[in-house]
Structure 1
Amino acid sequence: MQPPLPSPRPAADVLHDAGWPGEARAALLCSGLLLGVALVVDAGTPHGLTLPGALGCITLCVVLLVILLPARVSAAPGILTVRGLWVTRTVCTDRLVAVAWPADTAGRLALRDEDGARAEVDLRVLLANPALWLRIEADARTSRTHGTLHHGTADLTRLALHVHSETARTVLRVSGLD
C-alpha cells in the first residue's frame, strides 16, 4: 500500500511578488513598442521591409524581453521558489545552510539549503513585499534554531535591519509623516 500523498498547500499559504504582473506587462510593452518602432524604421529604408530586417527586429525585441522580464518569486512555509524564463529554483528556507547578502553588490540575496539547492532574490522584491521577506526571515530563524544555518547570519541580521528600516520609511512617507 502506498503512503498517502501530502495535501497541496492552500493558496492562502503561498505568497507571491505582488509587483510581478506589472513589471512583466511593462517588459512586454517595452519590447512590443521597440518592435513596432524598429519595423516602421526598417520599412522606411530604401529597400523597404525585408525578411532579414524583420527577423533582426524580432530577435532584438525578444532579447530585450528576456533581459527585462523579472523572475517570479513565491514563498510557502519552508519553501522559496524563483521562476525565471527557463529555470525554476526552489530552496527549502527552513533548512538553509548559507545566506549571502554582499555589501558591495547589495542587489541580491543568495540562499542555499541542505540539499545544495540555490536561489537568488532581488532585494527590490523583498522591499516591495514585506510579507514575503517576513516569511523568509522566519524560516531562516527556524534554520538557525535547528542549527543548519552556518554561514551568513550576520548578513541576514544586516539585511533584516535594512528591510525593516526601508519598510518603516515607506510607511511614514505614504502616511505623510516623513
Structure 2
Amino acid sequence: SREPTAVDERWAGDMRLTCQCSGVLLGMLFAFDACAGTLDSARAVVWSILGVLFFFVLVPSRVTAGPGWLRSCWLGRDRVVRTDQLVCVRWAPGAALRVVLRDADGGRVEVDAEVLVANPALWNLLHSGVCGSLERGGFYRGQSVVRELSRRIDARAALAILQASGLCESEQV
C-alpha cells in the first residue's frame, strides 16, 4: 500500500459539483414531466436511469501520487503507473485534454491535464519521475508532451503571481 504524498486538491469539490449537477438534472426532468402531467412510474425510472448515467459520465477520477508512482481511481477502478519507469507519455485522443502515461511494466494511467496543471504537488512528483525515467534511458516517447505540460504549469504560476501582485487581471493561460 503506497501512501500518497500528493492528492488532487480539487477532487472533493468536483465530486460535489458532479452530485449537484446530476441532482439538478434529475429534479428538472421530474419537475417538467410532473408539470406537463405526464410523469408516471415508467418515465420516473427512465429519468432516474438518465440521472445516474449523467453522474457516471461526470464523476472525476481521484488522482494521487508519491515518489515514483501516480494513481488514478475512477469508480473503484484503480490504475497505477511507475513514473520513475515511464516509457511513453502521450495526449489521449478526444475533446478533453488528457495525458496517457505508460510504464515499463505495462502500467497505464490516463489523467486530465488540468488536474496536473491545477495541482503543483502532483506535477512535481510526476516531473521528478519523468526526470528519473529520462536518466535511466527508458523514456523513449513523449518528451514534447511533458514540455507542453510544463509550459502550461509555468504559465499558470506566472499568471497567479501577476494577479496576486495586481499587475494582471486576465484569467487566460
TM-score interval, normalised by the smaller of the two chains: 0.7 to 0.9
Gapped regions of structure 2 (runs ≥ 5): 169-173
- The answer to whether 1:35 aligns with 2:26 is yes
Match of 2:88 in 1: 98
Name the counterpart of 1:157.
Answer: 147
TM-score of the pair, normalised by structure 2: 0.87
Residue 86 of structure 1, CA deviation: 4.8
Partner of 2:164 in structure 1?
A: 174
Q: How many residues align?
A: 168
Which amino acid in the other structure matches residue 33 of structure 1? V
CA distance in 2, matches of 1:132, 1:20: 13
Tell me which structure has the larger Cα radius of gyration.
1
> Which of 33, 45, 63 is the equivalent residue of 1:73?
63
When residues 174 and 101 of structure 1 are mapped into structure 2, their CA distance, relative to the original with a 3 A threshold, is farther
2:133 touches 2:139 (CA, 8 Å); kept in 1? yes
Report how far residue 9 of structure 1 moved.
4.8
| In 2, Cα distance between equivalents of 1:52 and 1:104 | 35
Provide the secondary structure at the position in 1 that maps to 2:9: coil
Q: How far did residue 90 of structure 1 move?
A: 0.8
Q: Does structure 1 residue 142 correspond to structure 2 residue 132?
A: yes
C-alpha distance in structure 2 between counterparts of 1:119 and 1:130, whole Å: 18
Work out which of the residue numbers 13, 17, 27 in structure 2 matches 1:22: 13
Matching residue within 118, 124, 128 for 2:118: 128
- Alignment correspondent of 2:35: 44
CA offsets 1:54-108 (integer angstroms, 9 cap, x no match): 1011011111111111111110111111111252211011110111147996711
- The 3-state SS of whatever aligns with 1:44 is helix
Q: What runs of 5+ residues in structure 1 fail to find an aligned partner?
A: 1-7
Say which SS state the counterpart of residue 74 (structure 1) adopts.
strand
Give me the TM-score of the superposition, normalised by structure 1.
0.85
| Identity score, percent | 37
Does 1:83 find its partner at 2:68?
no
Give 1:46 deviation, angstroms.
3.4
